[in-house]
Structure 1
Amino acid sequence: MKDDTQMTYRPFETIEAGRTSRWLVTCDHATNLVPVSVNGGDLGIAPEDMARHIAWDPGAAGVAQRLAQVLNAPLTMTRFSRLVIDPNRGADDPTLVMRLYDGTVIPANRGIDDAEIERRLDAFWRPYDAELARLVTRRPDTVFVSVHSFTPRLNGRGDRPWQIGILHAADDRLARPLIDRLRREPDLCVGENEPYGGHLPGDAVDRHAIAHGVPNVLIELRNDVIATKEDQDAWADRLAPILEEALAETGL
């Protein structure tokens, strides 16, 4: 998706007014938008590739928006594709700007130099990072929930059976009771650190939650189960009370 409103462009969107709960909901890969300041708004790949999981997390923004509404939680979401620069990576991560992803070469990134990476850090990554930092510290008992989605399969790989995966690192104070509670749902296949393992050093949850002792969880939903607005709302409505139950169990 190309952004044609550069005069009003912001690299993130925050919905906060009147939302007072301790929950904070984030969506790092909310859109496949490419701002016009990046190669004229075109990364050089086909529209069908820009619609794939390589460019964003399909369905995740809709779930995050509804979940934040039900939890009365502030929400912040990116307004740039993960292929522009990935806000869920550390600033020094070698996959910060992907040149090849799941079999697709990204022409506008293939020959990227350090100066352009630094420009994208300043234009996109750092403003969103600063917004996360502000929102996490708005109250001392914040609980950090990051919403993502994953593809049912990567090219050349097997099917992924989980409808939902809960990611955590050593800090599993919220993740553990959440996983246990979700596994009591008879219709769900629940992954623990699936389809990915834990957190990468310097990723968004690590930077803004784990590093500061903030209770946290990263929720991954398989994108075919959240393909429509109705699906997204239904999952959010289902998850909100389960999250509240899991948090109550922790005593945090």
Structure 2
Amino acid sequence: MKDDRPITERAFWTEGGDRPSRWLITCDHATNRVPAWVGGGTLGIAPEDMARHIAYDVGAAGLASRLAALMDAPAIFSDFSRLVIDPNRGEDDPTLLMRLYDGTVIPANKDADQAELRRRLDRLHRPYHDALEALADRHLDRCICAVHSFTPQLRGRPMRPWQVGILYSWQDVRLGPPMVQACREAGWITGENQPYDGHLEGDSIDRHALKHGRPNVLIEVRNDLIADAAGQAEWAGRLAPVITATLAATGL
């Protein structure tokens, strides 16, 4: 599946849709793009804020692309900023359209009404999730690996020590805890459901993995480690064999 609209309008893109792996790599926060029909292409915040983690997951798209290629797996990427509308939130989540994030007010969202929210759902959020589910359905034994990144430090908060975070829901502990152990055995400072909790009702993993019984894991990599192509390639090379071996060891 692909979004055939012009690149300035599309909601997502895919790579390797016909690759045979049972894994599907997802990247919910791949870009910081603001479509022209949203505020004329700007959310009203400074360019330096649009380059921060509040607008997208820095380095995650490159990591996900390299990881998918190494694992011979399909991958899907959102193509709109999480500040336009967050694809990793359910449609009734109050943080779906953020008005304030890590100390930055989002002017284009401050007065957005329900009609504007529906427009962004219809043109961006829903097409992305429809495409993700279509890719997931292509394999009877699909596993989902969601790739994200996190900032080393939120404003006014302590530094985060982890290199990698493995997130999972208490509703499915088949793959998450073994991944935590495998990452720690590899020598990485690994957070278990840190820096974020692994279960959020209506998020991408809940919607496309938990509700279908698909094995899943969400990987967060600290964004200073994958800010450039070299770091993305290095961490993809580290993570791919660990992910593959951990799934095999579980017998899922």
Q: TM-score under structure 2 normalisation?
A: 0.96
Match of 2:173 in 1: 172
State the one-letter code of the partner of 2:222: R
Q: CA deviation at 1:34?
A: 0.4
Q: Which residue of 1 aligns with 2:185?
A: 184
Deviation at 1:10, TM superposition (A): 1.3
Give the match for residue 24 of structure 1.
Answer: 24
Shift of residue 7, structure 1, vs aligned partner: 7.1
Q: CA deviation at 1:6?
A: 5.2
Residues 142-157 of structure 1: pairs in structure 2 closer than 5 A: 142-157=142-157
Q: Deviations over 1:12-41 (max 9, x none)?
A: 001134411101000000000001011110
Q: Which structure 2 residues correspond to residues 206-221 of structure 1 after superposition, within 5 A?
A: 206-221=206-221
Residues 25-104 of structure 1 aligned to structure 2 (within 5 Å): 25-104=25-104
Q: Given residue 142 of structure 2, which amino acid in structure 1 is its aligned partner?
A: T
Report the AA paired with residue 140 of structure 1. Answer: L
Matched, 1:247 2:252: no
User: Amino acid of the residue matched to residue 225 of structure 1?
Assistant: L
SS at match of 1:83: coil
Q: Is the 8 A contact 1:149 1:221 kept in 2?
A: yes
Supply the AA of the counterpart residue of 1:177: P
Q: Percent identity?
A: 60
Report the alpha carbon displacement of residue 9 of structure 1 after superposing the two structures with TM: 2.6
Verify the 8 A CA contact 1:6 1:35 in the aligned structure 2.
no
Q: Deviation string for 1:140-189 (max 9, x for gaps)?
A: 10110000000001011000000000000021211111111111123x11
Instruction: Report the Cα distance in structure 1 between the residues aligned to 2:15 and 2:123, rounded to whole angstroms.
Output: 21
Structure 1 unaligned blocks of 5 or more: none
1:90·1:96 contact (CA, 8 Å) conserved in 2?
yes
Q: Where does residue 193 of structure 2 map in the other structure? A: 193
Give, in angstroms, the shift of residue 196 of structure 1.
Answer: 0.5
User: Quick one: structure 1 residues 190 and 7, their matched pair in 2 at CA, closer, same or farther if it must change by over 3 Å?
Assistant: closer
Residue 244 of structure 1 aligns with an amino acid whose one-letter code is: T
Conserved? CA contact 1:226–1:235, under 8 Å: yes
Unmatched 5+ stretches in structure 2: none
Aligned equivalents of 1:8, 1:44: Cα separation in 2? 18
User: Deviations for 1:83-114, whole angstroms, at most 9, x for unmatched residues?
Assistant: 00000000000000000000000000001100
Q: The residue matched to 2:94 in structure 1 has which SS? A: coil
Structure 2 CA distance for partners of 1:133 and 1:43, relative to 1, 3 Å:
same
Secondary structure at 2:144 match in 1: strand
Structure 1 runs (4+) greater than 4 angstroms displaced: 5-8
Distance (whole Å) between structure 1 residues aligned to residue 110 and residue 88 of structure 2: 20
Q: CA RMSD in A?
A: 1.2
Change (3 A) 1:65 1:7: closer
Partner Cα distance (1:111, 1:6) in 2: 28
Give the secondary-structure state (helix, strand or coil) at the position aligned to 1:224.
Answer: helix
Q: CA deviation at 1:139?
A: 1.2
Q: Residue type matched to 1:49 in 2?
A: D
Q: Counterparts of 2:9 and 2:36 in 1: how far apart (Å)?
A: 10
